[in-house]
Amino acid sequence: MNAFDNAGSLGAEGENRDELVRTAPHAFRVHTRAYTDAEVFAREQKQIFGKIWVYVGHESEIPAAYDWKTSHIGTQPIIVTRDQEGRLGAFLNRCAHRGASICREAKGNSKSFTCPYHAWTYGIDGKLTGIPYHHEPNGYSEHFQMPEGLYRIPKVESYRGFIFASLNSKVQPLLDQLGTAKLMIDRRVERSPVGELVLRSVPYVARFKGNWKFQSENIVDGYHFIQTHYAFVKLQEKYQDTTGDFGVHKGASISEMRKHRIQGTVYGCPQGHGINFRRAANIDDLVTGEYADYHKELRALRGEEEFGWIIGTNAASIFPNMGMIHQQIRTWRPVSPDVTEVRIYLYDVKGAPDRLNEGWLRSQERFYGPAGHGMADDVEMFAVNQQGLEASAMDWLILDRGIDQEKLLDNGDYEGMLSSETAQRAFWRRYSKLMEQA
Q: What is the mean pLDDT of residues 399-412?
A: 96
Question: Secondary structure of 325-373 in the HEC alphabet?
Answer: ECCEEEEEEEEECCEEEEEEEEEEECCCCHHHHHHHHHHHHHHHCCCCC
How would residue 258 be classed by pLDDT, with cut points 50, 70 and 90? low
pLDDT in tens, 200-244: 888 989 899 999 999 999 899 887 776 777 677 777 777 666 555
- Among candidate residues 241, 276, 239, the one with its CA nearest the CA of residue 261: 276
Confirm if 368 and 344 have CB atoms less than 8 A apart.
yes
User: At what angle are helices 374-388 and 230-239 packed, to 10 degrees?
Assistant: 160
Residue 114's CB is within 10 A of a number of other CB atoms, namely: 17
Q: Give residue 11's pLDDT.
A: 46
DSSP β-bridge partners for residue 24: 27
Q: Could you count the other beta carbons within 10 Å of the beta carbon of residue 111?
A: 12
Q: Taking the CA atoms of 207, 166, 317 and 416 in sequence, report the sign of the dihedral they define.
A: negative
Closest among 275, 265, 307 to 179, alpha carbons compared: 275
Q: Between these two residues, 385 and 239, which has the higher pLDDT value?
A: 385
Residue 118 pairs in a beta bridge with none
Instruction: List the one residue out of 313, 318, 273 whose CA is nearest residue 191.
Output: 313
Closest CA to 166 of 151, 176, 155, 152: 155
98-101 own/partner pairs: CB under 8 Å, 24+ apart: 101/77
| pLDDT at site 6 | 47
Three-state DSSP at 375 gives helix
Instruction: Name the DSSP letter for residue 144.
Output: -
pLDDT of residue 13: 42
**How many Å separate Cα 432 from the centre of its chain?**
19
Alpha helix segments (H runs only) across 207-353: 212-218, 225-228, 230-239, 254-261, 283-286, 292-302, 304-310
How far apart are alpha carbons 167 and 333 in whole angstroms?
16
Query: What is the predicted pLDDT for the residue at 14?
Result: 44
Contact by Cβ (8 Å): 225, 374: no
| Lowest model confidence (mean pLDDT) among 5-9, 111-115, 359-363 | 5-9
Is pTM beyond 0.85 here?
Answer: yes
Which of 321, 409, 289 has its CA nearest to residue 44? 321
Q: What separation in angstroms does the CA of 226 have from each of 230, 343, 359, 383?
A: 5, 24, 24, 19
> What is the pLDDT averaged over residues 287-294?
92
Task: Please write the tens of the pLDDT for every residue from 356-376.
Answer: 999 888 888 878 877 787 888
Burial string for 117-132 (b: 16+ CB within 10 Å, else e) reads eeebbbbbbbebeebe
* DSSP code, position 35: H
pLDDT digits (tens, 9 = 90+) for 417-429: 988 999 999 999 9
pLDDT digits (tens, 9 = 90+) for 28-81: 999 999 999 999 999 999 999 999 999 999 999 999 999 999 999 999 999 999
Q: 254 vs 227, 257, 360, CA distance in Å?
A: 11, 5, 23
